[in-house]
Structure 1
Amino acid sequence: MSSFFVKVILPVLVVVFAIAAAVGLAKLRQPPEKTEESRPAILVNVSGIEPDNVVYHISSQGMVTPKLETSLVSEVNGRVVMVAEQFVAGGFFNKGDLLVRVEQSDYLTNVKAAEAALANSQAMLAEEKARVKVAEEEWRSFTSGTAPALGLRQPQLASALASVQSAEAELERVRRDLSRTEIRAPYDGMVRSRAANLGQFISRGTVLGSIVGTDVAEIRLPLTDTDMAFLTMPAATVTESNKVTLTSTVAGQQLSWPATLVRSEGMLDERSRVMYVVAEVTDPYQRKSQGQPILNFGRFVGASIVGSQAEQVVRVARHLLLPGNQILVVDKDNTLQFRQVSVDRATAQFAYIKDGLEVTDQLALSAISNPLAGTVVRVAGASQSIDDTEQPTQLADAAAKAAAAVKGQ
């Protein structure tokens, strides 16, 4: 009997007790607490919106060229007997300076001959006037009435007078040729190139050299139609609206020169489809004034032109302007929003927003991948909310409870 109990009944009781214990423990087990996982809000950098009055500056570039440029051409024939020391490439001269002289011997002889011919014509005229007077007296002594023109020698007197006028004209011509043997500077300037040399025989039409004026330099600046819309063309007097600042790097230094916008060429270039405006710089070589660096002809310069003024616009970085003229902002609820804006002007660096932004908006400066409207964000520099600061502690407590429950099983 005892053997039957040990071999049959006892194992059955153990199994039943084990099953009952397992069921009891299963009923006593508590499931782990469930906590909702929440992602922290995106941290973004923002800046405030500050409308302001902005004066637009239009950028361009161009080459410095002389306003006056002249090719010196001989008007007489002869041998060059004098060349001025300053008549070399790069030499400076003043208005009226003698640059080249041609041999004058033949022209002086022509002047003397013309003076002699004039004196002879004047003597013949005086003699003819005396004959006319004698003819009038003889006519009156023999008869009365009006004397005929031939009897009073009027044709002979007119011929003598014409001879005098012709001699005077010839004298003026030879004197003019004599003055042309001296080539003088027509203005203050600089020699660009020289083609005449001492002892060289030149003829009428020979190019002696090229000179440029140093009083004023010009810079042709190309502008697009968009740029022209923000440009105030020059008035009769120099104002802030037609001032230009030229810049260039010279010997490793960034230099600048003040200039004045004086005119527009008024025609679009057929190839580039741009319009040229002209700026002027007074005394670029500082010959009459001091205080500014020398601005050489041929230098390539950048130009910043003072344009029109815009009232109450917002300047933002150009990369913040999204396609379709949209701006990503953070509203008063700290959520991302897209604003459709009206752009007054856009350059490579900035965009100028005329309207479309609200006063409570802040510009989102951080790069956000695939931003969605309504996304909650955290503003860099602002204090965090209590939920955000306590969230790590709550997650840690939940993790500890789950581990304890698993261990109790």
Structure 2
Amino acid sequence: MLAVLKKAGIPLIIVLIAIVVAAAMINMRQPPEKAEVEERAFLVNAIPVSSEDLQFVVKSQGTVQPKIQTVLSAQVSGRVTSVAEAFIEGGMFKKGDVLVQLEQADYNTDLKTAQAELARAQAALEEERARGKVAEEEWRSVKGSVAPELGLRKPQLAKELASVRAAEAQLERAQRNLERTTIRAPYDGLVRSKDIDLGQFVTVGKQLGVIYNTDVAEVRMPLSDNDLAYLQLPGTDGQSSPVELTATVAGKVVQWQGMLARDEGILDEQRRVIYAVAEVKDPYQRADNAQGVALKFGRFVQARISGNRGDDMIVLPRHVLRLDGTVLVVGEDRKLEIRDVVVQRADENSVYISAGLRSGEQVITSAVPNPYNGMALRLPGDEQDPAVEKDVEESKDTAIAKTERDA
């Protein structure tokens, strides 16, 4: 019995001793030391901002086209007897130059016939006037009273007068038809296409070619409703916005100056844009004092339209503006501020801020993950954080030790 008690009591004693020892160790345990966690200042890049008065620029593009283009057609029929050297694709001509000459023989004959008919009608008219005077004198001497209209041959006189007028009209038509055998240039321009040649017979209405006026070129540019808000479209006051056109010609960037002439007044149903038209004077530099590069029809150009003015605007890079319409600002004591701003306009490169920022403030341009108000910041010119310096030194020591091991 005693042996059994000994066997059962030994484990119980061991458990009691373990509990006593554990309690003593718990009482002797020292509380952990509290270490203050230093918040590292986040390194950012920032730019100082300043307000300025500026002029908005609207960008677009388009193809250069002539303001006036004409399809030359024959008003009379005939054989082509001569074609001007300039009447060829790309040929330049002046206003009044003869481009095509049709055969004139038949029209000269018609002109002479009309002249003869007019002379005959005029002679008949003079004869009838003389007969009327004789009839009036005879009536007075015989009857002694006022002669009637028929007695004075006035109806016959009116008939001959109408014949003269008809002959004059026939003569004018013959002269016009003769003049129409000579096709002259209606303006200074160039030949777009040529559809006839020497010896060819043309009929009335036959297309001879297509010509372009080189006095004024047009560029048709698509604009959105947002773009229109910053433009001064031509109106009754006569004011217009200048347009700068740019293209690469023979490997060089060339610019031309134009003016915004009008808008087409109709919204494109498919693209939801409205087209504005810019005009460029003397695109082919044909004036005597012209020295620039020709702006040829069909060339694709980029356009910069000078728009309305903006006062006290702050211009920032586009990426600085966050999706929620805020920007990050370096506040006092290098603390981050999330600032709401009013965006007046935005394009692919810049945003124009009209309110929410003050001149002299620094706006953060680098990426900041999970920003919050009061976040500690550090600029490249500031003294480096001691904790960061320690990490840098440890990194240097690790790199040196690794180099020695590799050696």
* TM-score bracket, shorter-length normalisation: 0.7 to 0.9
3-state DSSP of counterpart to 2:126: helix
Q: For the residues of structure 2 that align with 1:107 and 1:368, how far apart are their CA atoms?
A: 88
How do 1:23-34 residues align onto structure 2 when only pairs under 5 Å count?
none
Tell me if structure 1 keeps the 8 A contact 2:215–2:281.
yes
In the other structure, the counterpart of 2:105 is 105
Tell me if structure 2 keeps the 8 A contact 1:244–1:261.
yes
- State, as a whole percentage, how many aligned pairs show the same letter: 49
In the other structure, the counterpart of 1:227 is 227
2:259 maps to 1:260: yes
In the other structure, the counterpart of 1:309 is 309
Which segment is superposed worse, 205-214 or 250-259? 250-259
Do the aligned partners of residues 154 and 395 (structure 1) sit closer, same or farther apart at CA in structure 2, a change above 3 Å counting?
closer
Tell me if structure 2 keeps the 8 A contact 1:332–1:361.
no
In the other structure, the counterpart of 1:323 is 323
In the other structure, the counterpart of 2:135 is 135
Tell me if structure 1 keeps the 8 A contact 2:139–2:145.
no
Q: CA deviation at 1:74?
A: 0.3
In the other structure, the counterpart of 2:23 is none
Letter in 1 for 2:174: V
Do the aligned partners of residues 39 and 111 (structure 1) sit closer, same or farther apart at CA in structure 2, a change above 3 Å counting?
same
3-state DSSP of counterpart to 2:319: helix
Q: CA deviation at 1:359?
A: 4.9
In the other structure, the counterpart of 1:287 is 286
Tell me if structure 2 keeps the 8 A contact 1:331–1:360.
no
3-state DSSP of counterpart to 1:322: coil
In the other structure, the counterpart of 1:215 is 215
Q: CA deviation at 1:39?
A: 4.3
Tell me if structure 2 keeps the 8 A contact 1:54–1:311.
yes
Q: For the residues of structure 1 that align with 2:155 and 2:360, how far apart are their CA atoms?
A: 104
For residues 122-146 of structure 1, the C-alpha deviation after alignment (integer angstroms, 9 at most, x for no partner) is: 1111111110000000001012222
Which segment is superposed worse, 64-73 or 243-252? 243-252
2:182 maps to 1:182: yes
Tell me if structure 1 keeps the 8 A contact 2:50–2:360.
no
Q: CA deviation at 1:373?
A: 2.0
Q: For the residues of structure 2 that align with 1:291 and 1:235, how far apart are their CA atoms?
A: 32
Q: For the residues of structure 2 that align with 1:160 and 1:274, how far apart are their CA atoms?
A: 66
Q: For the residues of structure 2 that align with 1:84 and 1:207, how far apart are their CA atoms?
A: 16
3-state DSSP of counterpart to 1:333: helix
How do 1:10-409 residues align onto structure 2 when only pairs under 5 Å count?
35-234=35-234, 242-288=241-287, 289-359=289-359, 361-384=361-384, 388-389=385-386
Q: CA deviation at 1:276?
A: 1.1
Q: CA deviation at 1:36?
A: 3.1
Q: CA deviation at 1:270?
A: 1.6
Tell me if structure 2 keeps the 8 A contact 1:122–1:164.
yes
Tell me if structure 2 keeps the 8 A contact 1:238–1:260.
no
3-state DSSP of counterpart to 1:81: strand
In the other structure, the counterpart of 1:6 is none
For residues 299-351 of structure 1, the C-alpha deviation after alignment (integer angstroms, 9 at most, x for no partner) is: 00000000001110111111111112111111112111111111100111111
**Pairwise CA RMSD of aligned residues?**
2.4
Q: CA deviation at 1:236?
A: 6.6
Do the aligned partners of residues 150 and 368 (structure 1) sit closer, same or farther apart at CA in structure 2, a change above 3 Å counting?
same
Which segment is superposed worse, 330-339 or 230-239? 230-239
Which segment is superposed worse, 88-97 or 366-375? 366-375
Q: CA deviation at 1:362?
A: 1.5
Q: CA deviation at 1:390?
A: 8.2
Do the aligned partners of residues 148 and 106 (structure 1) sit closer, same or farther apart at CA in structure 2, a change above 3 Å counting?
same
Q: For the residues of structure 2 that align with 1:395 and 1:53, how far apart are their CA atoms?
A: 46
Tell me if structure 1 keeps the 8 A contact 2:267–2:274.
yes
Q: For the residues of structure 1 that align with 2:392 and 2:54, how far apart are their CA atoms?
A: 52
Letter in 1 for 2:232: T
3-state DSSP of counterpart to 2:332: coil
3-state DSSP of counterpart to 1:327: strand
For residues 180-226 of structure 1, the C-alpha deviation after alignment (integer angstroms, 9 at most, x for no partner) is: 00000000000000001100011001000000000110001111000
Q: For the residues of structure 2 that align with 1:32 and 1:269, how far apart are their CA atoms?
A: 75
Letter in 2 for 1:278: V
Letter in 2 for 1:321: L
Which segment is superposed worse, 127-136 or 288-297? 288-297
Tell me if structure 1 keeps the 8 A contact 2:51–2:358.
no
Tell me if structure 2 keeps the 8 A contact 1:332–1:360.
no
For residues 20-39 of structure 1, the C-alpha deviation after alignment (integer angstroms, 9 at most, x for no partner) is: xxxxxxx9xx9997643424
TM-score, length of structure 2 as denominator length: 0.85
Letter in 1 for 2:280: V
Letter in 1 for 2:219: I
Do the aligned partners of residues 137 and 374 (structure 1) sit closer, same or farther apart at CA in structure 2, a change above 3 Å counting?
same
For residues 233-291 of structure 1, the C-alpha deviation after alignment (integer angstroms, 9 at most, x for no partner) is: 2357876x611100011122111111111111112112111111111111111111422
Do the aligned partners of residues 393 and 191 (structure 1) sit closer, same or farther apart at CA in structure 2, a change above 3 Å counting?
closer
Q: CA deviation at 1:154?
A: 0.7
Tell me if structure 1 keeps the 8 A contact 2:40–2:376.
no
Q: For the residues of structure 2 that align with 1:183 and 1:394, how far apart are their CA atoms?
A: 90
3-state DSSP of counterpart to 2:333: coil
Tell me if structure 1 keeps the 8 A contact 2:89–2:192.
yes
3-state DSSP of counterpart to 1:101: strand
Tell me if structure 2 keeps the 8 A contact 1:224–1:275.
yes
Gapped regions of structure 2 (runs ≥ 5): 1-27, 394-407
Letter in 1 for 2:306: V
Length, aligned pairs only: 366
Do the aligned partners of residues 307 and 138 (structure 1) sit closer, same or farther apart at CA in structure 2, a change above 3 Å counting?
same
Letter in 2 for 1:140: R
